[in-house]
Amino acid sequence: MKHRTLIVDDEPLARERLSRWLEAEPDLEVIGECADGRQAVERILTDRPALVFLDVQMPELDGFGVLEALHGEPLPVIVFATAYDQFAVKAFEVHAVDYLLKPFDRERLRVALDRARQRLARPASPAMPEELAALLADLRPREGYPARIAVRSEGRVALVRADDIDWVEASDNYVILHVGAENHILRDTLTAFEARLNPERFLRISRSTIVNMDRIKELQPLFHGEYAVILRNGTRLTLSRGYRDKLKVLGLG
pLDDT tens track for 107-153: 999 999 998 998 888 876 666 677 777 777 776 655 567 788 888 87
Alpha-helical regions (H) of the chain:
12-23, 37-47, 63-69, 86-94, 106-120, 130-143, 190-194
Please give the distance of CA 85 from its chain centroid, rounded to a whole number: 21
Q: Are residues 50 and 114 in the same domain?
A: yes
pLDDT score for 252:
62
Of 57-61, 136-140, 175-179, 249-253, the range with the highest mean pLDDT is 175-179
Q: Are residues 180 and 225 in the same domain?
A: yes
Q: Are residues 36 and 121 in the same domain?
A: yes
- The predicted model scores a pTM of 0.70
Of 51-60, 142-151, 206-215, 224-233, the range with the highest mean pLDDT is 206-215
pLDDT score for 205:
92
Q: Are residues 8 and 114 in the same domain?
A: yes
Domain holding 99: CATH number? 3.40.50.2300
pLDDT score for 253:
54
Q: What is the mean pLDDT of the chain?
A: 86
pLDDT digits (tens, 9 = 90+) for 67-101: 888 877 788 899 988 887 665 677 677 666 788 88
Least confident of 169-178, 223-232, 240-249: 240-249
Domain holding 243: CATH number? 2.40.50.1020
Give ∠ CA 213-219-224 in degrees, rounded to 5.
120
Instruction: Please provide the distance, in angstroms rounded to a whole number, between the alpha carbons at the two ends of the chain.
Output: 66
More confident residue, 91 or 189: 189
Share of the chain above pLDDT 70, in %: 90
Please give the distance of CA 49 from its chain centroid, rounded to a whole number: 19
Please say if the pLDDT value at position 47 is more than 70.
Answer: yes
Q: Are residues 138 and 184 in the same domain?
A: no
Q: Are residues 183 and 110 in the same domain?
A: no
Beta bridge partners of 82: 101
More confident residue, 128 or 21: 21
Residue type, 176: I
Tell me which residue range forms the domain holding 46.
3-143
